[in-house]
Amino acid sequence: MTVRVRFAPSPTGYLHIGGARTALFNWMFARKHGGEFILRIEDTDQKREVEGAIEALMAALRWLGLDWDEGPGAGGEHGPYIQTERAEMYREWADWLLAHGHAYKCYCTPEELEARRQEAIAAKKPFVGYDRRCRNLSAAEMEAHESAGGEYVIRFKAPLEGETVIHDAIRGPITFKNDQIGDMILLKSDGLPTYHLANVVDDHFMEITHIMRADEWISTAPLHINLYAAFGWEAPAYAHLPLVLDPSGQGKLSKRTQSFTDEGEEVLVKVEEFRDAGYLPVALRNFLANVGWSFGDDREKFTMEEAIPRFELEDINPAPSRLPYSKLAWLNGQYIQEMEDLALAQAARPFLQKAGMEVNVDALLVLMPVMKVRLKKLTDAMEFLRFLDEEAEQQALSVETLTHKKLPRPEALAAFREARDFVRETDSYDVDTVGEAMLVIGERHASNGKAGPFLGRMRLAVTRQRVSPPVFESMVALGRERTLARLEKALAVLE
């Protein structure tokens, strides 16, 4: 049997981090078994669809590195992969259920259903859902409704007795009393299916073998199992993934979550927010794989190539899992340190440009080797590298900032003049040459014979930042001419 799994988001918003975890687990399972990962867009809820959401969902999956074998943009033999393009098929199978006595037409209007709900509330009676009053209408009664132009939905005839058992690969058997299962709507009055009919029909004809989805769908699983039985189709294996909680572990992380971590940082929810905050896709994949599943061997950092052979549905913990954002920051920093200098420079540059800084890659290549250990996110580079931008707000220079008790004004003036002359005249302007010269100058002029007092003042003169990369790399990244200009300004203050 070829394993076939699907990720089927609704374009009612952008890719939520919990949805990304669901997609990742499906993708890992397919890759482990040499199977196929299908992307399907479930867009039958037209009223809630967000313009541009389909394209954004696909872009987020691609950024995360989750390639799909079939679906929009990839094609496949089981398309179309957007549900509104399959409407005729759903109508056909809804009619089949009607013809075979597994469904019925319901003429109750939304207003009537709401009135009954309010009556139950007023009478302080439990409202258990639809009361099935259209389930056994006679042919004459249905004809009367339709002659009067009454619109209808198609509802499933759920079994009224016995039990329905869901064999969940993560949670084991889950049993439901059939008298607690309602007659759910399969086809709406506008001719479009509900999630329940569409996903069963699609999963069957797309030959899905395993359904991995959020645990919020457990309550609807008996309806889906009974639909498969009514059609006479074999149901896929089910695995309901654990709920994703916010970093505090107190509540569900939803698309509308807006809260803050203990460190005061805003909780990110959309995949795009993680991308824009400077996280790497490799780090986010690693992070999400740890939410509800464990690599083992007490390892938290691992590649997908290492994780996929170990991935088993039975190893997923059914308990809700919180998102420890501090762990993501740690992972991201680890992956940044492993990046090649050129790759890191190219990855950081767009964030600098977005902040209004035009920085060439050559300058970044000088700085990245010493910056790696300081970065948790790519956006952190902006704080360190603002000195490269002439327009960036910089600390004003003063005699006090350019002198030190071990490097008083006369000695500081002499040291800065010597540094300026060296920068202007040296044939080689690289980190090693600059560093060696600055150390000698600092040791010569400081009263304690150590370079530290001068190098600290030199760093401020060149970067005008309290937080910046090391001074030698900063001078070379800034370039000879721009460094000279800043040293002249420092000398003007001292003079």
Catalytically active residues, by annotation: 255
Element (H, E) at 39: strand 36-39
Q: Alpha-carbon dihedral of residues 388, 389, 394, 397, nearest 10 degrees?
A: 60
Residue 429 CA from chain centroid, whole number:
43
Q: Which of 382, 407, 405, 409 is nearest to 465 (CA)?
A: 382
Q: Which residues pair with 173 in a beta bridge?
A: 167
Computed on alpha carbons and rounded to an integer, the radius of gyration of the chain in Å comes to: 32
| Residue at 67: amino acid letter | D
367-372 LR contacts (CB < 8 Å, sep 24+) = 367/469, 367/473, 367/474, 367/477, 368/341, 368/344, 369/341, 369/473, 370/469, 370/470, 370/473, 371/469, 372/336, 372/337, 372/339, 372/344
d(CA 450, CA 258): 51
Cis peptide before 242 (omega within 30 of 0): no
* Cβ count within 10 A of residue 465: 19
Nearest by Cα to 255 from 63, 53, 47 = 53
Say if strands 153-156 and 103-106 run parallel, antiparallel, or are unpaired: antiparallel
| CA–CA separation, 265 and 17 (whole Å) | 17
**DSSP-assigned letter for residue 89:** H
β-sheet bridge partners, residue 260: 266
Helices within 71-220 (DSSP H only): 87-99, 110-122, 139-147, 195-205
Separation CA 40–CA 57 (nearest Å): 11
Residues in the chain: 495
